[in-house]
Structure 1
Amino acid sequence: MQRLLGLSLLAAVLSTAGCSSTLVAPEQYSGFLQDYSRLSEQQSPSGAKVARWIDPDLQIARYNQLFLEPSQFYPQPQPSARLSQETLHGITRYFDTALRRELSKVMPLSDSPTAGTLVLRPAITAVSASTEGLKPYEVIPIALVVAAASTAAGTRDQQVEIAVEAAVIDAQNSRVVAQVVRKGSGLDLENDEQVISLDNVKPVIDVWANDMRQSVEQLKAKR
């Protein structure tokens, strides 16, 4: 009996770890980035596991400003009863604001991608909700739908997760110099009928923006 209890606890721990992972499985990549083969598992400044690549020849001192492309959803999502068009717009607007707030602390922001400029091109590639403990993170990039658990336990909390892919590009020659893929868990929903709001994903977006700022700081410190 004690051995069975131990195995049950181990299974529960592994299940929880899987649900809270910040790594996106390769089969869930959206196609937004040009080349996923260079990605490798690394640790972000906040300690999260991410799939990332930075050109080893990148000399950030060559760049004097940063141009932020408006964030987008890729592919284009279909709004639903639980994920409205208003919320989708709110997510990209908030992401843009968070990136500008954090990255302006480490590099001047440009209004146009000219020579000596790095371009950040970000995309939200998935938003999902699943019943905790019953179903792992699910993403269907083609439709970008909310994944509701097909279970009778509709009153259980649902975990909201959101994924991002981003590339950093040399504005002068369009060469990709860095890219990252990651996901994060937002604030839970009370059940499988509650709608997803911007507030559910704000904490994740804030972490992403903060990590990007710290990544630039780390690159500058190495020059």
Structure 2
Amino acid sequence: MNHLVKIILLTCLISTLVACSSRVPNTTEQSDFLTHYEQLQEVKTPSSNIIKAWKAAQLETTKKQKLIFTPIEFKPLNKNNKMGDKFTTILLNYTNQQIQHELEKHFELTQHSGPEILRFEGIITSVDATPEDFKFYEALPVMLVVAGTQLAVGSRDADTNIYFEWKVTNSVTHTPLYEAIRKNKGTQLSNTEQTITLEDLKEAIDTIADEVVPNA
């Protein structure tokens, strides 16, 4: 293998690693829950996270409107995103509690639809543990062998992640007024064979709840 080919392969590999370390969901990490994924733009949140979001010009969040809160559901992206029933229940209960509490600060919650009443809906699409983001020095050929070996035996640190999509619509016409998707990192596990618990994801869920209202 000549020197030029090695450089090309290494460049491609580094690009792949950078893409894998992205904290913004890509097209394979989104469901069919939202209406127009192509309208979503990257936005920096107060917590310095990057999310993808879109807001209609007519959505007014400076005044306290009425809003129907629809409990968060788990809608797995694919068969690999399954969670046990007990963990799903615990996760959804905590997520609903935190998000509803935040919405109550900005909206008057109601159970009745109306022309001027909004509806909030959200889903968790996945909870997973992925190998810790590669450091720059690990992109060197000699380190890739070591890092690859560590990953294969499951001894590498793993990042926990939770994927969340949500939207605000008109409760009568169902017209989209706000749509967003995000991927938040939870507690780091010592390896990919550990079991993820609610405690590992609480901080990530709290951040999602704090920033669930547009321009809050």
TM-score, normalised with respect to structure 1: 0.73
2:201 corresponds in structure 1 to 201
Distance 1:158 1:62 in 2: 42
Post-superposition Cα deviations, 1:71-130, rounded to whole Å, max 9, x if no partner, equal 1112377699x9422111111111110011111112111133333221111011111112
Distance 2:125 2:34 in 1: 11
2:96 corresponds in structure 1 to 96
Identical pairs, percent: 25
1:129 corresponds in structure 2 to 129
2:120 corresponds in structure 1 to 120
**AA at the equivalent of 1:106:** H
2:43 corresponds in structure 1 to 42
Q: For 1:21-100, what aligned pairs fall within 5 Å after superposition?
A: 21-60=22-61, 64-75=65-76, 83-100=83-100
Which one has the largest radius of gyration?
2
1:190 corresponds in structure 2 to 190
Post-superposition Cα deviations, 1:46-92, rounded to whole Å, max 9, x if no partner, equal 22111100002324468721211111112377699x94221111111
Distance 1:62 1:113 in 2: 18
Q: Which runs of 5+ in 1 are unaligned?
A: 1-10, 135-148, 218-223
Distance 1:171 1:27 in 2: 29
- Does the 8 Å CA contact 2:77/2:126 hold for their aligned counterparts? no
Distance 1:88 1:183 in 2: 18
TM-score, normalised with respect to structure 2: 0.75
Q: Aligned in 2, Cα 1:79/1:103: closer, same or farther, shift over 3 Å?
A: same
- Equivalenced residues, count: 190
Q: For 1:113-192, what aligned pairs fall within 5 Å after superposition?
A: 113-133=113-133, 151-192=151-192
Q: Aligned in 2, Cα 1:192/1:48: closer, same or farther, shift over 3 Å?
A: closer
Post-superposition Cα deviations, 1:15-68, rounded to whole Å, max 9, x if no partner, equal 58953x431112322111122121111122322111100002324468721211
